[in-house]
Structure formats: structure tokens, C-alpha cells
Structure 1
């Protein structure tokens, strides 16, 4: 686990930087400042989730439609947001259309294109994943990737994740230096101290690690040919019997 650090180590690092004494267990420290630092660390973790598409928080989710389904499916309990262009209809080996806007959704419903637009599309409504057509055909296997809200790993407990720091051995699943810079910034803000330098350092760290967390693809200036033209009135034609 050398890539990441425990909350105990992270909080102590920031504490020493701002002039506090290092603690053996930051959760049981008598100094109330450590309770504040832990609270700020929890807020910082939830903040960083929104600042990048972190590979370490990427999860996969799949749905297989059943005969009696309504087409409305609950999102995972740790769902933060879907990663763009990862939805896939594995049954038909095509991308899932969407996310549909309310206008696109009502257009599909109003035009009743089920017999022609045979591939699945989706939208997110009321913390649910809505699949079109509704009800969906039985046996569709739909998958997508999303960013999880669970940025804390219980040390020694494989696959035991949460969104809250609860004990000193909890592992923060963000690059340690970047996380420490944000925690220090939020601490200085809470104390009403000057944050100019701390803000600059954190911004630089975030920009650097957001780009370095995973390797970059080779850029291609050519048109990939991918697309979902099903809602284009000029191209949305039946697969067969055109003109009838």
C-alpha cells in the first residue's frame, strides 16, 4: 500500500506543517484541532471526487433485463457519476445511446420508434438508470463504468470501501501529497489565515496528478466513426423496408 497513506499519517503531516505536535492516534488526540482536521479531511475527500475522473475510484456496473422489468433500475449505492461514453449494449455489441436529454426522451416516446430504433438508450432520473425502450426487451446485457463515492479503504480488508474516515489506519485512495495540500488549504481557511500560497500549491498539485494518474492515449485527429445518430431526423430510418 506504499502508493497511498493512512489518514493518521496524512493528518499528522499537515499538523506538523501548521505547528502542531504529531499524535500517535489522531482520532483519540486530546487537542480538538485534530478532530477538526479529521472533519476537514472527510470533506476534502468528497471534494476531490468531483475534481477529476480518478481511475482508482472507477467501478463497473451491469444490468441484465428481465421479462417483467419496467426499464427503471437503481444506481449503485456508491454511485457518484457515470464516466462518459462507457455505456455498452453487450447483447447487440453497440454503444448505449445517451445520456438522453428530457427532450430526446420524450421525442422517442412520442415518435414510437421502438420498431425502428432497436438499440438501447438511457437517461438518469431520480437516482435511477432509465432504459429505453420501456419496457425493455428481455435479456439485454447493459454495462457502464462510473466513479465511486467510496474513497476510503479499510486497511487489511480487501474490497472494503467507504466514503468516511473512521479510524487511524483507514487508507485514503488519493495521491497523498495532493490530498495533504488540500487538507492544509482547508485548515488555513477554517482558521481565517492567509491561503494564497496554499491555494496555488494545491491547484498545481491537482493539475499535475489529475493528468498523471493514468497513461494518456495516442491522439487521433481522424473521425472515429462512432456516434449515435438515432435521434437525427434526416438519418433515423428503419433497418428494413425503407420507404414503406
Structure 2
């Protein structure tokens, strides 16, 4: 299978401008048709940033799923980020990669050099603002903090205080909040400084995924509209 070419190659500032809103992360579903149905429903609800994440799938399935996610994303003018696997992101010519402390290709500067300037590089910073500052210096596109709330996906993840999001903005990069995000706690999380809300369970376990994605999108629209009104007064 040939790599999928991105619809619109981006400069780094253009990529940063799209790092806002709901950041959907795929559930670990071994069935590609079912995963495609779930993801397409989210994209129809306005998701424009998707992370493909499957820590347990064998390599052939990961590649097949990631390639299909990339096709779906580009059909909906959305971006696909590959979790944990820089070689796979490069092979598929995905829109970017997200790396944790111990992930494959976790050296941030090396990953940026391999990706080039026009791709997205996200870095997990857990509860460590110093890691965010270092990531910014090494060429990251955004930084992620969490778990902000108890997470069904990572129940053992150490907690990160909500106030950390505002501190993290000092690094000059968009900030993603992750871990236990729901529609109920999303407004407080956005107000605390999150540019993106990384969501798995509350989105993909919803009875109506498309409606849930639209509800998250409306939260961001409402928040930024209200902030704009206050700033103009």
C-alpha cells in the first residue's frame, strides 16, 4: 500500500492554528469496520483532529487501521496524529505524531527532524511544566497534560492539577488536556487554559457520537465568543 499524501501540506504556523477544540482519540477496537464507523460519526460531528491510538494491536492491524483513519480524516478535512509510533507516521505520511516519555522515537528533537517543519508533533508532559518548556525548545507543536480527572482508559495515571494548564501556556504552545474529560467538566477545563480537549470514552461511548462531538464543538464556540465579548469591553 502506498503512503497516503496529505490533502493540504501545512507550514508549522498553519498546523498550530488548527490545534484547537475537540481532540478525538480512538478507542482500542480490534475490528476495523467498527472503528471506522465510530470515527466517521465523530468526524461528521465536526471533529477536525483525531489521534489514532492502539497500544495492543499487532503491527499489521495498526498499519491497516491507521491508513484507514488517515483516509477518513482527509475526506472530512481533518488531521490524523499517530500515537506512539514515529516510523508508522512517517510511512503513512500522516499529519503528525504524538509521543510520550517512553514511546518509539521519543527523542523530541530527533522526531522533529524526521517529521520536517510542516507536521504536527505532540508531546505528553504529564504534570511536568519543565518538560513542556523543553518540548517547545526542541520543536514540539503542542503539549498535553493529564490525567486531569480519573480516567477509565488510564486508571493508574498520576493526577495533574487543573491549575497546571494555565502555567503550561507560558511555553508558548497550544495545550491539550487529557484524562477523564467529559461534557460536565469540559467548561472548567477550557476556562483553566486548555486549547484542546483530548477525549476517548466520553465521545466514543456516547449513544450518539455525532451529537456528542457537536456538543463539544459548541462549548468551544461559546467560550471563545464570550471571551471575545469580554475583551472588547
Same fold (TM over 0.5): no
| Greater RCO structure (CA 8 Å; 6+ sep) | 1
More helix by share: 2
